Structures are given as structure tokens and as C-alpha cells.
Amino acid sequence: MNQPAPDPALRPVVARVAGLNLAYFGIEVSVALAIGSLALIADSLDFLEDAAINLLIFAGIGWSVRNRARLGIVLAGILLLPALATAYAAWIKFATMAPPAPIPLTLTGLGALAVNLTCAMMLARHRSGGGSLTRAAYLSARNDAFANLAIIAAGLATALTLSAWPDLIAAAGIAVLNADSAGDILRAARAEWRAAEARPENEARS
């Protein structure tokens, strides 16, 4: 079964989404480092990852099915990087177990949610076309919105308990979410690769 080519109209959309993600990465990582929030560190890496993914999609639109499949496999690997980085940061966090400041944590989570919902709405009408590339963009925005809800909940729980555990739990959930998305995108990329292999060689190169 052939995978559809990404809609050329997706190109300016992913460019805008990349810009939004890169801008909020700078904001969120600054707050994360200032208040010592592992969840915000994990989420800021998500924003950087999403900016990279959307820039790669911008470059990949118009490529052959086979090349889109290769790029989809690369994107699946990119999605695993924040999960690995968060795991390392969590190991360091256990040495102090200091809770982050709850108000900046909650407000930054709310801002991140607004950005991700905006990106998800921009990408929503493209999510069913274009195989693994478009799926990567939509899954990243959608999953990050869920992660932001976890960050907001962690901020409220931290205010009530003055414990580091809500932040750690939210960070772990974000890492799992990224790993699951990587698996989904890898499966989609493999489907595109099989579609490319099933087509005549000259058509696959078109």
C-alpha cells in the first residue's frame, strides 16, 4: 500500500511550528534551570526536539517515498533523545531531592500548553496524510500537550506537598510518552519503506 506524499501546504505550517517550538524552548529551559525542575527540563528538550523534527519535515517534503521512510527512522531516533536525557537528569536529581518553585512551574506549564495546542491545531488537518513525516509532527504536538497537563498538575501538587516527587513523576511520564511516540513513528516509517520496496525501482526514485 503506497503512502501519500506530504501536502506542499504543510511546508509553511511546519516552518511556523518549528519557530514557535524553538522560541519556547529558550523560555522553558531558562525557567527549568532557575527553579531546578526536572519536568521542565524534559519538556524543554521536547520543544527543541519538535523544532528539529519540523525543520527536517520542511526539508523532506517532496522527497521520494523511500527517502521519507529513511527520514522517518531518523525522527524516531530523535524522539528517544529527550527520554534518555531526562533519565540522566533524574539520576542527578535524586542526589538532592529539592522541590522546584511551584508557581513558576505551573505558569510555565500553562504557557507550554498554549504553545503546543496552537501547534497541534495548525498540524491537525495534515495528520492523516504524508506518512511518518506528518505523523511525527502531529504526534509531537499532541503528546507535548498531554505532557504539559502533567507539568501543571505537578506544580499544583508541589505547592501542596513541598515535595520533589510530583516533578520527578511528571518527568518520568514525559520520557515514557516520548519513547512511545518513537515506536509509533518507527512503525510508520517501516510501512513507508515496505511500500517503497513494493514499487518498481524507477517509480520509487521519482
Task: Write the pLDDT tens digit of every residue in 48-81.
Answer: 888 887 887 787 776 777 776 777 777 777 767 7
Task: Give 130 or 101, the one with higher predicted confidence.
Answer: 101
Can you give the pLDDT at residue 206? 45
Could you tell me if residue 132 is inside a domain?
A: yes
pTM beyond cutoff 0.85: no
Let me know if residue 86 belongs to a domain: yes
Neighbours of 149 (CB within 10 A): 16
- The number of residues making up the chain comes to 206
Number of domains in the chain: 1
Residue 188 lies in a domain: yes
pLDDT of 203: 46
1 lies in some domain: no
Q: How far apart are CA 138 and CA 120, in angstroms?
A: 6
Do the domain assignments include residue 4? no
Contact in structure between 82 and 174 (CB atoms under 8 Å): yes
Asked whether residue 81 is domain-assigned, the answer is: yes
Please give the residue range of the domain that contains residue 64.
Answer: 10-204
Output phi, psi for 3, to 5 deg: -90, 140
pLDDT digits (tens, 9 = 90+) for 161-171: 999 999 999 98
Confidence of residue 200 (pLDDT cuts 50, 70, 90): low
Q: How far apart are CA 15 and CA 195, in angstroms?
A: 27
CA 138 – CA 133 distance, rounded (Å): 9
Residue 75 lies in a domain: yes
Whole-angstrom distance, CA of residue 83 vs CA of residue 104: 23
Domain assignment present for 160: yes
Give the C-alpha distances (Å, rounded to integers) separating 38 from 126, 135, 149. Answer: 32, 27, 15
Q: Report which of 111, 166, 183, 117 is spatially closest to residue 146, judged by C-alpha positions.
A: 117
